[in-house]
Amino acid sequence: MIKRNKIKNLLVDSEYGKKVTVMGWVKTFRNNRFVALSDGSCMQNIQIVLDYENLPDALLKRITTGCSISVTGLLVQSIGKGQNVEINAENIEILGDCDAEKFPLQPKKHSLEFLRENAHLRFRTNTFNAVFKIRHVLGFAVHDFFNKRGFVYMHTPIVTASDAEGAGEMFKVTTLDFDNTPRTDTGEVNFKEDFFGRAANLTVSGQLEAELGAMALGEVYTFGPTFRAENSNTTRHLAEFWMIEPEVAFADLEDNMNLAEDLLKYVIQYAITQCGDEIDFLKNRLLEEEKNKPQAERSELDLLQKLQFCLDNNFERLTYTEAIDILKASKPNQKKQFKYIIDGWGADLQSEHERFLVEKHFKKPVILTDYPKEIKSFYMRQNEDGKTVRAMDILFPGIGEIIGGSQREERLDILINRMNEMNIPQDELYWYLDLRKFGTAPHAGFGLGFERLVLFVTGMTNIRDVIPFPRFPKNAEF
């Protein structure tokens, strides 16, 4: 059994003189004497002081940035500045050498692009240590929030046969031989001979299945990977991302908005409380970056203030129609600065419009409701006006859409009409329609993109930097 002390604990330990063993990776080695060692348990390194005069040269040479070592020694109060404690090494053992010439991570600042190309090693940097710690804590907070409210965590399938939701942007799952696909009499691929006996895909959302759970368990949520084969090479889209999808029986759109706002505020507060060091580090990193920008482009709030601001203010709630009026009259629309000019009701909002509303007009998170039915999914509940549906999108600064949700259509006849209008085959979704036949009830839910949440809380700007191994068009390395 390997016994070691975690650096996180030692840094706040004041039992000076006791013998400790730490294991970790060398960040820097100065003057043949001082090692800054990290074991990943916290943002800070611990300082190891070597009695170099009594250590063989061959050993000292092997202590390089990146190598892993085990050190046993005495925990002592530090006289140097920058740390309270340090370790006077009595015994040092190299666990793994690191070829300093070839090691990509030198003790200097690397660009995020460079680190993305070295995603297998980027965990070793302070930035990614902080990002993935926050990602972990946010995931934990999501479960904590729903558990406290009595929601049931439900695992919806990753392989699905229904493609009603994601027509055209789904990844196929098959064991058929591509060079010799079985064909039907009419020449189409015969999926009856495929593994599942029918065409199958990776899920784009667990919502439809979560609705089945909600209509019995009352309140459920999913938290799992989802896949979209959309060719969007943006800083906000991944081909594989994680989504949180609560679904609640006996709830309307207002309940849905309240739940979403409560959830976001809870998990952000949780991160602030649990990840003070990490957020502080990322805040300073951003401030450092902003120094290179012209004054006008610098943000008014730092990262922590931005998070706090989001907690202290009610999200602005308005309808799509009201938003269109604001956008039509807005300066960038009048001056044709938007790439997509808003000239009438019915247009889908682009991220430039969403960000204008949030960042320039209201200067706080916004919930837009009651979108035109033409630009939303078949399952959203129709309003009396016959034109709009009970949809809601939550828009965040720097992100745009972070949540999309709706009150669901619980009336069978209206749902069937809408499916016919949109050419969605009923037989494939008979189980979804059964819900409306056997004890239907009003219900609502939404999808929160987990990486977009992590983007917001970490202040990172590219979604590829908040998931350990990003998948996007032409990239599935590591």
Q: Which residues bind ligand ATP (CB under 6 A)?
A: 228, 237-238, 241, 243, 401-404, 447, 449, 451-452
CB nearer Mn ion, residue 144 or residue 240: 240
CB nearer Mn ion, residue 393 or residue 410: 393
Between CA 154 and CA 54 the distance in angstroms is: 60
3-class state of residue 71 by DSSP: strand
Do residues 268 and 307 touch, judged by C-beta distance below 8 A?
yes
CB nearer ligand ATP, residue 280 or residue 401: 401
Q: Does 445 bind Mn ion (CB under 5 A)?
A: no
- How close are the terminal C-alpha atoms of the chain, in Å? 31
Pick the piece of the chain touching Mn ion (CB under 5 A) from 184-192, 202-210, 396-404, 469-477: 396-404
What is the closest distance, in whole angstroms, from the C-beta atom of residue 434 to ligand ATP in the complex? 24
Q: Does 246 bind Mn ion (CB under 5 A)?
A: no
What is the closest distance, in whole angstroms, from the C-beta atom of residue 66 to ligand ATP in the complex? 32
Touching Mn ion, residues 361-380 (CB under 5 A) = none
Between CA 278 and CA 133 the distance in angstroms is: 8
What's the one-letter identity of residue 278? E
Non-local CB neighbours of 284 within 8 Å, separated by 6+ positions: none
CB nearer Mn ion, residue 75 or residue 349: 349
CB nearer ligand ATP, residue 88 or residue 461: 461
What is the closest distance, in whole angstroms, from the C-beta atom of residue 401 to ligand ATP in the complex? 4
Which DSSP string corresponds to 260-310? HHHHHHHHHHHHHHH-HHHHHHHHHHHHHHHTTS-GGGS-SS-HHHHHHHH
Q: What strand order describes the sheet that includes 316-319?
A: 152-153, 219-227, 240-249, 443-449, 400-407, 388-396, 366-372, 316-319
Pick the piece of the chain touching Mn ion (CB under 5 A) from 111-119, 335-343, 353-361, 402-410: 402-410
What is the closest distance, in whole angstroms, from the C-beta atom of residue 473 to Mn ion in the complex? 20
Q: Does 404 bind Mn ion (CB under 5 A)?
A: yes
Binds 243: which of Mn ion, ligand ATP, none (CB < 5-8 Å by kind): ligand ATP
Q: Nearest Cα to 213, choosing from 170, 249, 240? A: 249
Pick the piece of the chain touching Mn ion (CB under 5 A) from 37-45, 404-412, 425-433, 466-474: 404-412
Element (H, E) at 192: none
What is the closest distance, in whole angstroms, from the C-beta atom of residue 379 to ligand ATP in the complex? 12
What is the closest distance, in whole angstroms, from the C-beta atom of residue 377 to ligand ATP in the complex? 8
CB nearer ligand ATP, residue 355 or residue 418: 355
DSSP 384: T
Numbers of helices and strands, H then E, in the chain: 14, 16
Do residues 161 and 427 touch, judged by C-beta distance below 8 A?
no
Between CA 221 and CA 146 the distance in angstroms is: 8
What is the closest distance, in whole angstroms, from the C-beta atom of residue 391 to Mn ion in the complex? 8
Copy the structure tokens of residue 119.
């995603």
What is the closest distance, in whole angstroms, from the C-beta atom of residue 377 to Mn ion in the complex? 9
Element (H, E) at 362: none
CB atoms within 10 A of CB 412: 14
Pick the piece of the chain touching Mn ion (CB under 5 A) from 39-47, 160-168, 244-252, 398-406: 398-406
CB nearer Mn ion, residue 301 or residue 375: 375
Between CA 233 and CA 464 the distance in angstroms is: 11
What is the closest distance, in whole angstroms, from the C-beta atom of residue 228 to ligand ATP in the complex? 5
CB nearer ligand ATP, residue 283 or residue 353: 353
Do residues 410 and 442 touch, judged by C-beta distance below 8 A?
yes
What is the closest distance, in whole angstroms, from the C-beta atom of residue 399 to ligand ATP in the complex? 8
Binds 397: which of ligand ATP, Mn ion, none (CB < 5-8 Å by kind): none
Angle of CA points 15, 17, 19, to nearest 5°: 95
3-class state of residue 17 by DSSP: coil
CB nearer Mn ion, residue 132 or residue 446: 446
CB nearer ligand ATP, residue 129 or residue 226: 226
Counting Cα atoms < 13 Å in the Cβ hemisphere of 47 gives 17
DSSP 350: P
Between CA 130 and CA 143 the distance in angstroms is: 20
- Tell me the residue number closest to ligand ATP, measured at CB: 449
Beta-bridge mates of residue 318: 368
What is the closest distance, in whole angstroms, from the C-beta atom of residue 118 to ligand ATP in the complex? 23
Binds 241: which of ligand ATP, Mn ion, none (CB < 5-8 Å by kind): ligand ATP
CB nearer Mn ion, residue 307 or residue 402: 402
Binds 166: which of ligand ATP, Mn ion, none (CB < 5-8 Å by kind): none
Copy the structure tokens of residue 475.
């990239």
Binding site for Mn ion (CB under 5 A): 404
